Amino acid sequence: MRPLPRSLRGLTVVFLALFLTVTALAGFGTFFATASMVRVLVDERIESESETLVPRGTTPNRAELSQHIMEMARQRDTGDLGVLLSDAHGNPIVGNVRLNRELPLGYSTLGRQDRIAGLSAGRVLIREIGGGMRLAIFAETEPVDNYFAARRRIYFAGFGAIVLVVLWGLLAFRRLVGKRIDAVRHTAESIIEGDLAQRVPMPGDGGEFDQQAGAFNRMLDRIGQLMGEIRNVSNDISHEMRTPLARLRNELALLEQSAAAEPVRDRVAMARMQADELLGMFAAMLRIAEIEDGSRRAGFRPLDMGELAAEIVEMVQPVAQERGQRVLMERADEAKLVGDRQLLSQLLVNMLENAVRHTPSGTRIRVSVAREAQAVVLVVTDDGPGIPASQREHVMRRFGRVERSGQNGGHYGGQGGGHGLGLPLMEAIVRLHRGTLALEDAGPGLRIVARLPV
């Protein structure tokens, strides 16, 4: 048994199909039941008339029966009731009806093809009454001309009106429900993109949708409150730690320059570099928190991503050349979008610095900006060691790093000395612009693909 569809559109189609099927069956059933009832009533009438003329089990006198039938013909309208007395071969003896075809004994249905004056549709009962005679009684099944055609129109109009009303109601219901679902989806998508202030609009009528929206918004308020508390704790820790770390770093720098530190100068220098790395890590954490807040969207302006990429590549080339690497601008389409120029510049710098810092001398780094129908695609590709597929999801998390012993400090994915916040910072910038960031295999090397909607 196939499961019912779970989408609103699927359920609407299934309900509409079932309703139309049931309505059609009900309409046809009612039509044919009425026709059958009329036929049964007419059959009972002509049987009664036949029994009245010639009771069963009696043999009538031919002359008397003929006289009686002639009197009936004069007294009755031929469209109301017809009588025909014929011999065993079907030759008419007397009556007000003539047949143009031979009919069997028992009940038969008549129509316009029988060309009986005044009869458009009817029934006939033919039975043998003895003496080599047959008696046929005819009756109209349509009280007025074209009654069945009129009845068909009535049924089509009646059931058609029901279908139209239900269809309109169903479409209106679907539109109402679809509108509310769209509102919830739009709110959820905005929250996913970092706009935690979005809420589901409330109709204000106190109905079920209003209550649902209120409950959903209260849930979002609570989630926002909890996330704000967590974010504040993280930011407070970062802020509080930066000041003593900065003092410690300055003290270590002064100590490193003093003559008294000569015996341990290398160790003091290493401690200073570790303090620098910690300060960089806290700065990156605060930067990610600032970006994820979503308030930077208010400053979005039109810019050309291809032109910006060319500027950043030119700026990074000297650093790469010092390390024996090459940075090439493979493609720079005119790719206009709306975004934060400073953050997108940081995105490009981080993508290139990641490639420069974590690949060996002789590596070729290629940059491409392509314009697609609905997005700008920024790609940075290197032919270095890359990242194993099993580790790519890990390095996209905060503090996620891939150990590479003996190569450029041993970590991939971290900025500022490999603290594992470089790729998360890039993803935060891309997500702020409602885009996606992906790590792919360049065979060999790594390809970082940022897709930004226009």
DSSP string spanning 344-386?
HHHHHHHHHHHHHHTS-TT-EEEEEEEE-SSEEEEEEEE-S--
pTM (2 decimals)?
0.50
Please name the CATH architecture into which domain 208-292 falls.
Answer: Orthogonal Bundle (1.10)
DSSP letter, residue 296:
G
Helix axes 8-53, 62-75, angle to 10 degrees: 130
Please determine whether the domains at 8-147 and 299-453 fall in the same fold group of CATH: no
CATH top class, domain 299-453: alpha beta
pLDDT of residue 402: 67
For the cut 50, the answer to whether the pLDDT of residue 360 exceeds it is yes
Q: Where are the domains of the chain?
A: 8-147, 208-292, 299-453
8-147 to CATH, choices 3.20.16, 2.60.40, 3.30.450, 3.30.70: 3.30.450
Query: Average pLDDT over the chain, rounded to whole?
Result: 80
Tokens of 25: 């069956």
Band of residue 448 on the pLDDT scale cut at 50, 70, 90 = very high
Q: What is the mean pLDDT of residues 199-215?
A: 82
Can you give the pLDDT at residue 403?
Answer: 59
Q: 80-89, 231-240, 338-347, 427-436: lowest mean pLDDT where?
A: 231-240
Question: Cα separation of 202 and 211, whole Å?
Answer: 8
DSSP H or E stretch at residue 180: helix 147-192
Q: Can you give the pLDDT at residue 7?
A: 60
Residue scoring higher pLDDT (209 or 103): 103
